[in-house]
Amino acid sequence: MEESITVKLGSRKRRFVAFILDMMLIGMIGYLSTFLFESFYMKLGNFGKLIGAVIVLIYFGIFDSKIGSGQSIGKKILKIQVVNKNSECISVSKSILRSLWLFTFILLNGFSLGNSKYIPIIIILGTILFSIVLLEIYFFIFNKKTKQSFHDLLADSFVILTDSKGEIEFKNNKKILYCSIIIPIFILSITICLNISTKNTFLGDYLRIIDIIQEDIPVHQTTISKNVSTFKNSNGTSEQHYIILNTYKNNKSDDEKEIAVKIAKTVFDNGLTINENEIFSIVISSGFNIGIASKNKNQRFNGTVEQWKYEIEKIEN
């Protein structure tokens, strides 16, 4: 960018510290709310992140606008301010536009739609998420003179020192802007290729089992993975192979052991191959994640195929 700046721009360090202070405050608000709404948050599952995303959007949307004099609490402490090119506070609508990146990041980070039929949507959401992160990093590195991040460019905003006023004249460097378009295209291409490559592998089989589990059992955000542990014994070095299923239960009162046995039955009934020398580990988590606060408790149940079948027979009889 080529520009003539008559004001003092807020440094990256000040902006980062102000952001950390703001997020600590928002996180404290989220944590305190859990004393009243923990059970409600648990029932929301992935959609609980919408609560945190909305709180962040309202907080920065109001405080960084002319209503809050362009200063969130963190910015007020660090003596920086969000303004337009005339050093005037921006409107609420522009401030909300400026904060949409963080709203989107909190909402989509770790978000799962719970069924492989939504994979095209998941690919799009994942592309948006990682593009936002990389675009923020990209402009952080290359846009040094005006120190505008991706969200600043969207809202035509700048961050200046509060005791500094004046007009900011600038022209966007088109090469930097055009090159940034490559980032989402690159991420989308990689994601599509990875999805295609997993359809005919054990990962594709895992997705099928996950769909069935989440349709029949009150759980969400289920994942299956393989792991190998190496340990030494009197006979030398040995390996223990694991198939690990992680999931979150929907209801706080549900019994973890009962859910684990139901999951094991569903897995065996639907043809997931587990070898006799493998340990099938089921991790049942209870808690919530509202994007700005989370609480999780994990309970792990390990067993061989034979041991799990014994537990299934006990329930059926």
CA atoms of 99 and 42, how far apart (whole Å): 26
Dihedrals φ, ψ of 274, to 5°?
A: -125, 120
Are the C-beta atoms of residues 244 and 226 closer than 8 Å to each other? yes
**pTM of the shown model:** 0.75
Percent of the chain's residues with pLDDT above 70: 85
CA 7/CA 12 separation, integer angstroms: 15
CA 103 – CA 100 distance, rounded (Å) = 5
Question: 197-207 as b/e, with b when 16 or more CB fall inside 10 Å?
Answer: eeeeeeeebbb
Does residue 221 surpass a pLDDT of 70? yes
Residue bearing the bigger pLDDT, 295 or 99: 99
Banded model confidence at residue 100, pLDDT cuts 50, 70, 90:
very high
Measured in degrees and rounded to the nearest 5, phi and psi for residue 177 equal: -65, -45
Residues 149, 105: Cα–Cα separation, whole Å: 15
Is the model more confident about 95 or about 3?
95
Instruction: For residue range 158-206, list pLDDT tens digits in order.
Output: 999 998 877 777 665 566 666 777 777 777 777 767 666 555 444 567 7
**Lowest-pLDDT range of 126-130, 254-258, 289-293:** 126-130
Give the type of residue at 280. Answer: F
